[in-house]
Structure 1
Amino acid sequence: MIHEQSNLMNMIKEDTLLKETISNFSKITGGKIRRTLPANAFADANIEMTLGNQSHIFFIETKNEIRQTHIPNIIEKFSREQNKWLLVAKYIPGPQKERLKAASINYLEAAGNCYINVENLFIYINDKEVTPSRQTDTSKLWSAPGLKFLSIMLSQSIHLNAPYRQIAKAAGIALGNIGPLQEELKQEGYIQSSDQSPQLLNKEKLIQRWVELFHVVLKPKLTKGRFRFMREQQQKNWKDIPVNGFKWGGEPGADLLENYLEPQTFAIYTSKTTNEIVKQIKIIPDPEGNIEVYEQYWDEALLKDYSIPEEVALPLIVYAELMAGTDSRSWEIAARIKNKYLYGK
């Protein structure tokens, strides 16, 4: 029942966004948008857009605010039938609009800004002022402790059956969080109701939502500082650095997992103090540096029997960091890491 109510609320939000967008589009262009019968099970809605004597049928994907991490999945989803899809969003930052245009992805912002380029319609509007909505989930599941908890569940789903104390230790959060978080995971439809051998459901959706909020909610709280190598040669020989008390994330983590990416930026996760890691690795504070140091919140025991190099951070984190980049090669490697390390675990 609670899961059904959650779905209903999402449908109401999508409907409200679409109504606002249709109204503004009509005022600005004089065109019309009307809903049509569903023809695609993966679309949030179907519409017919008419401007003058020209019209076009679109499948609609609705989003509140488009972030960098949404772009690869949108491109992948739309790629086979690009001129049949239209992205409708409350807010799209300028850089993301440029990336969508470059990928020939049609979009329509609620305020009326749009890029629509199909056989018989071309509309480009980019002068309507928009304020970021910055809406995030208020539930505990999408708070910083909730995201830590989810990173354990998504990394090794065997923890669904683990004692609460073990889960709390693995995630680096208070014991009292575990029961409410597991219950919310079940209520949101991400875990089967049966108490016998529970399994994660809708894992792909859960991963993508985690990735999005990792960059907004959790990662800023883990940041210890930005640095650069003391000597240029250190970057070339980064694999020779003894790994003691830290893990490689981001591009170096991906290279260690897939051996297919020469790192230009470096992410380090450690439970050591900043002074300790600075002395150990011989790095220098630099606000423009290409090394970022973060707090390692998860327990080391989590990575045992995980079939990954011991010097690599959680593959989920490595995946999330690659998906925040702009290089399609990084997205390709991220997809490999997701399929290899986040499924079947």
Structure 2
Amino acid sequence: MVNLLLRLNMSAVQYESAPVYEALEVMQRTTGLRAQVLEKIAAAPGGHMAIRADDGHSFHFTYEVKQTIDRRDQLLTFRNLHTGAVLITRSLTSAMAEQCRELNVQFIDHAGNCFLRQSGLFVFVSGLKDTTKGKQAAARGLTPAALRVVFAVLTRPSILNNSVRRIAEVASVSHGAAGAALILLEEMGLFTSSRSGRRVLAMPERWLDTWTEGYLGRIRPKLEKHKMSSPAPVSALLERISPKMREVALGGEAAAAHLDMDLKPGTLTLYVDLDDPSVMRHLAQELKLRRDPDGSIELINMFWNTMDLQCFPTVPNALIYADLIGAGDERTMEIAISLKKEICAYVASAS
């Protein structure tokens, strides 16, 4: 069994910032393991690779590339979206490397740190620093405004070929932010432009993954939300809720149950127009809600254009999916996978 457990403090590896191939080359210098990309999935940030040990044994992995990982919730999202895949990223701190090991998220970074675990293989290297990081800043991901554009396209794929001004209106962002988002999304390979100027959407799965990771990491944490509880069980509350257009919509497990996805909700997520105090007041009275930080009921402020992105009485499917992934519950993962297939098929057919 290959068993390398290295803890290196404040060491540095000098190398030019590079894609997957050079990240694997640095890992080889660090550990002595030889890695080879077997298949690079076209226009996608992932593929398949093999790692060979000195004793001749080969270990096969899938991998996914993420530019920057610096929070635990990002690791949880990655684990839920890419089960068993090796994370390849810019540079992880020692603390984040420990989080990877705790959550069993395998990784290789551009400084030579890595965590790999398979039957017959255990490698853990942490503490190496990428000294090129200051010279070439890593992309920090899509802005919240760009993520709103992604969400709008997932909900109404046809708007991708509307004017920039109309896309901005539907996504509830500025004209400039919408234009910048389209440029970046095209650079990311999420759509191409034909000679006629028509935008052709590519890889719905990447659109959905991009939205989910961005929503859970950058949008949801900043939304106004309230944890509540009620003397009545969730099943009884669902029978008493009367969602009103543009005021209250079912999210998460409650939305999945409404869509007949064979899920008995254990939590109740409601997206509410919190800009109108009367909506929450009426809801609290009707459901006998009280504030409770450990409650199973969550009220979250509606953040999207409910006029143009309607999916009443639930939130749009891409948001249901993101909430199910964010729950990190094995109970919801099978439902999320099924919903993902539906969303991607819809986006592919409607774009």
TM-score (normalizing by structure 1): 0.74
CA distance in 1, matches of 2:221, 2:76: 16
| Richer in strand (by share) | 2
Would the alpha carbon gap of residues 107 and 339 (structure 1) be closer, same or farther in structure 2, given more than 3 Å must change? Answer: same
Would the alpha carbon gap of residues 17 and 41 (structure 1) be closer, same or farther in structure 2, given more than 3 Å must change? Answer: closer
Q: Deviations over 1:211-232 (max 9, x none)?
A: 111111111222x232213423
| Richer in helix (by share) | 1
Partner of 2:12: none
Would the alpha carbon gap of residues 19 and 266 (structure 1) be closer, same or farther in structure 2, given more than 3 Å must change? Answer: farther
- 1:67 touches 1:212 (CA, 8 Å); kept in 2? no
CA distance in 1, matches of 2:155, 2:77: 19
* Residue 49 of structure 1 pairs with residue 52 of structure 2: yes
Mapping of residues 169-184 of structure 1, within 5 Å: 169-184=169-184
Q: Deviations over 1:178-217 (max 9, x none)?
A: 2332233223322221245432112212221221111111
- 1:60 touches 1:87 (CA, 8 Å); kept in 2? no
* Residue 39 of structure 1 pairs with residue 45 of structure 2: no
Instruction: Report the identity percentage.
Output: 18
Partner of 1:221: 222
Look up the equivalent residue of 1:269 and give its one-letter code.
Answer: Y
- 1:267 touches 1:294 (CA, 8 Å); kept in 2? yes
What is the deviation of 1:144? 0.8
Would the alpha carbon gap of residues 261 and 207 (structure 1) be closer, same or farther in structure 2, given more than 3 Å must change? Answer: same
Higher RCO, Cα 8 Å, sep 6+: 2
Counterpart among 32, 45, 70 of residue 78 in structure 2? 70
Look up the equivalent residue of 2:222 and give its one-letter code.
Answer: K
CA distance in 1, matches of 2:127, 2:38: 33
User: CA RMSD of the aligned region, Å?
Assistant: 3.3
CA distance in 2, matches of 1:235, 1:130: 51
CA distance in 2, matches of 1:161, 1:236: 43
The runs of at least 4 consecutive aligned structure 1 residues that moved more than 6 Å come to none
CA distance in 1, matches of 2:23, 2:301: 38
Secondary structure class of the residue paired with 1:276: helix
Mapping of residues 46-125 of structure 1, within 5 Å: 46-51=49-54, 53-59=55-61, 61-64=63-66, 65=69, 67-75=75-83, 88=88, 90-91=91-92, 97-100=101-104, 112=113, 114-118=115-119, 121-123=120-122, 125=124
CA distance in 2, matches of 1:185, 1:88: 21
CA distance in 1, matches of 2:172, 2:259: 24
Mapping of residues 298-313 of structure 1, within 5 Å: 298-304=304-310, 308=311, 310-313=312-315
Structure 1 residue ranges without an equivalent (≥5): 1-10, 27-31, 79-84
TM-score (normalizing by structure 2): 0.73
Look up the equivalent residue of 2:264 and give its one-letter code.
Answer: E
Structure 2 residue ranges without an equivalent (≥5): 1-16
What is the deviation of 1:19? 3.7
Secondary structure class of the residue paired with 1:267: strand
* Residue 154 of structure 1 pairs with residue 154 of structure 2: yes
- 1:153 touches 1:159 (CA, 8 Å); kept in 2? yes
Q: Deviations over 1:247-294 (max 9, x none)?
A: 111111111123421222222222233743431221222222222322
Would the alpha carbon gap of residues 179 and 115 (structure 1) be closer, same or farther in structure 2, given more than 3 Å must change? Answer: closer
Would the alpha carbon gap of residues 129 and 15 (structure 1) be closer, same or farther in structure 2, given more than 3 Å must change? Answer: same
Secondary structure class of the residue paired with 1:114: strand
What is the deviation of 1:159? 0.5
Partner of 1:338: 340
- 1:278 touches 1:284 (CA, 8 Å); kept in 2? no
CA distance in 2, matches of 1:323, 1:216: 12
- 1:114 touches 1:123 (CA, 8 Å); kept in 2? yes
CA distance in 1, matches of 2:341, 2:62: 27
